[in-house]
């Protein structure tokens, strides 16, 4: 998280060896971590901050279950009110990888749509 902070806020550029290693590692496979994220994201009784973090983390998985969970979260009015932009950014990651071509932004909560558009540079 701190590396991401320094990249986003201070323009830090990690060494090429680190970037190459991250690319080589690829995306995580569906496992107990993804199951836990799935449970947290879709459980309306969970803490909204944890649900938001789950939405952010799901952008790292190339799995239809992650995309489905994000789509379902995007239609959860209460969650979309507080974390819609983060859900939208994660959905945009799936669109960018060609895994959610059928995503219609106009069908989404205004904050989710904002996140999709922001991540897509619109």
- Identify the residue whose tokens are 């550029």: 13
Q: What are the domain boundaries of the chain?
A: 29-120
Q: What's the CA gap between 68 and 71, in Å, rounded?
A: 5
- Identify the residue whose tokens are 């990690």: 14
Q: What's the CA gap between 106 and 122, in Å, rounded?
A: 14
**Tens-digit pLDDT profile for residues 10-35:** 888 888 887 777 676 777 889 999 99
**Tens-digit pLDDT profile for residues 64-110:** 999 999 999 999 999 999 999 999 999 999 988 888 878 877 788 89
Angle between helices 77-96 and 48-57 (to 10 degrees): 10
| pLDDT higher than 80, residue 116 | yes
């Amino acid at each position: 998280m701190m590396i991401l902070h320094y990249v986003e806020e201070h323009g830090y550029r990690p060494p090429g060896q680190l970037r190459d290693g991250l690319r080589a590692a690829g995306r995580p496979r569906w496992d107990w971590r993804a199951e836990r994220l799935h449970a947290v994201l879709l459980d309306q009784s969970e803490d909204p901050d944890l649900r938001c973090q789950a939405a952010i983390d799901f952008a790292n998985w190339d799995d239809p279950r992650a995309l489905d969970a994000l789509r379902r979260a995007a239609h959860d009015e209460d969650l979309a009110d507080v974390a819609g932009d983060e859900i939208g950014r994660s959905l945009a990651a799936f669109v960018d990888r060609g895994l959610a071509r059928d995503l219609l932004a106009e069908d989404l909560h205004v904050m989710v749509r904002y996140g999709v558009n922001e991540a897509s540079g619109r």
